[in-house]
């Protein structure tokens, strides 16, 4: 069993991560905001995975056991907040939209974490105001607990582009449940339909591939879209811009 590190205070500052590296499972007594100034960052808990490109940040509540993973060269900006300061009033991880002002506030606040001047405290107050006004983003990929569901999801994690339907996947995984039962489990346990969950998985994988410079057409093919244009349409609706624009940024 992997040891879970306990850090009483959540770090504030900047940490560089190379692609496909991360921080092992740990928890801290403070809340934390994790923002990738470049690259893509994900956190994983027992409840699933949340992913954030440079237009998003991750909210990690105090006490949450989680691990970080970076995709592409990632500048990880961390903002620790005392457990009594919860601008989002959330007790579960979440993905937050990061506009230009919030981005600059996070970058400025993490630049010199030892500085405790009145100016820096005022900067943090504005940062918290911006957080309260930032919309949450539906970028959570929930993890199944039911072994029948887990068997099917494991196949798709191994190959998000697998085009087979739920019945064929269940048979290949030896799930021991039919399509109707599994469809009901997706809604009851994961809060979404099978097609919705698969699309979310494919978007997560697409972000990771784009972060390491994979061409858009290759990403579309590997993640199971029928064409690059179909992928671009889904990506734009999820993130507000095209995957090409994301890659250039």
Structure confidence at residue 137 (pLDDT): 87
Four-way CATH pick for 142-248: 1.10.10.60, 1.20.950.20, 3.40.190.10, 3.30.420.40 = 1.10.10.60
In the chain, where the domains are located: 5-140, 142-248
Structure confidence at residue 18 (pLDDT): 84
Mean pLDDT, range 83-106, rounded to an integer: 94
**The sheet that has 74-81: what strands, in order across it?**
13-17, 74-81, 31-36, 56-60, 94-97, 136-137
CATH code for the structural domain at 5-140: 2.60.120.810
Q: For residue 89, what are its two tokens?
A: 């009033």
- Give the pLDDT band of residue 246 (cuts 50, 70, 90): low
Contact 26/72 with Cβ under 8 angstroms?
no
What pLDDT digit, counting tens, does each position of 148-205 carry?
999 999 999 999 999 999 999 999 988 788 899 999 999 999 999 999 999 999 999 9
Structure confidence at residue 249 (pLDDT): 52
Structure confidence at residue 1 (pLDDT): 46
Q: Is 239 left (phi over 0), alpha (psi -120 to 50) or beta?
A: alpha
Residues 99, 128, 246: CA angle, nearest 5 degrees: 20
Distance CA 28, CA 39 (A): 24
Structure confidence at residue 193 (pLDDT): 97
Res. 122: pLDDT tops 90: yes
The mean of the pLDDT values for the chain is 91
Mean pLDDT, range 133-149, rounded to an integer: 92
Q: Is 88 exposed, middle or buried (0-12, 13-18, 19+ CB in 10 A)?
A: middle
Contact 20/70 with Cβ under 8 angstroms?
yes
Structure confidence at residue 114 (pLDDT): 72
What pLDDT digit, counting tens, does each position of 27-62 carry?
999 999 999 988 899 999 999 999 998 889 999 999
Q: For residue 51, what are its two tokens?
A: 């992913």
Structure confidence at residue 49 (pLDDT): 96
Query: Beta strands of the chain (E only): which ranges?
Result: 5-7, 13-17, 22-28, 31-36, 40-45, 48-52, 56-60, 66-71, 74-81, 94-97, 136-137, 140-142
Res. 23: pLDDT tops 90: no
Backbone angles phi, psi at 170, to 5 degrees: -60, -40
Distance CA 188, CA 29 (A): 31
pTM across the whole model: 0.89
Structure confidence at residue 2 (pLDDT): 58
């Amino acid at each position: 069993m992997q040891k879970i590190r306990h850090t009483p205070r959540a770090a504030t500052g900047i940490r560089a991560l190379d692609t496909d590296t991360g921080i092992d499972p740990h928890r801290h007594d403070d809340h934390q905001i994790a923002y990738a100034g470049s690259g893509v960052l994900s956190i994983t808990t027992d409840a699933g995975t949340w992913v954030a490109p440079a237009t998003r940040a991750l909210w990690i509540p105090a006490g949450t056991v989680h691990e970080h993973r970076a995709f592409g060269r990632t500048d990880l900006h961390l903002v620790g907040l005392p457990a009594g300061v919860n601008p989002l009033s959330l007790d579960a991880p979440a993905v937050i939209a990061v506009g230009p002002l919030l981005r600059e506030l996070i970058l400025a606040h993490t630049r010199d974490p030892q500085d405790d001047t009145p100016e820096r405290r005022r900067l943090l107050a504005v940062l918290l105001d911006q957080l309260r006004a930032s919309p949450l983003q539906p970028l959570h990929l929930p993890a199944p607990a039911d072994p029948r569901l887990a068997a099917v999801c494991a196949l798709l994690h191994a190959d998000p582009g697998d085009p087979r339907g739920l019945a064929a996947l269940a048979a290949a995984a030896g799930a021991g449940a039919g399509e109707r039962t599994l469809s009901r489990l997706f809604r009851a346990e994961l809060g979404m339909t099978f097609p919705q969950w698969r699309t979310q998985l494919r978007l997560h994988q697409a972000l990771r591939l784009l972060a390491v410079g994979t061409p858009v057409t290759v990403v579309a093919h590997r993640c199971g879209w029928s064409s690059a244009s179909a992928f671009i349409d889904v990506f734009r609706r999820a993130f507000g811009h095209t995957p090409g624009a994301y890659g250039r940024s």
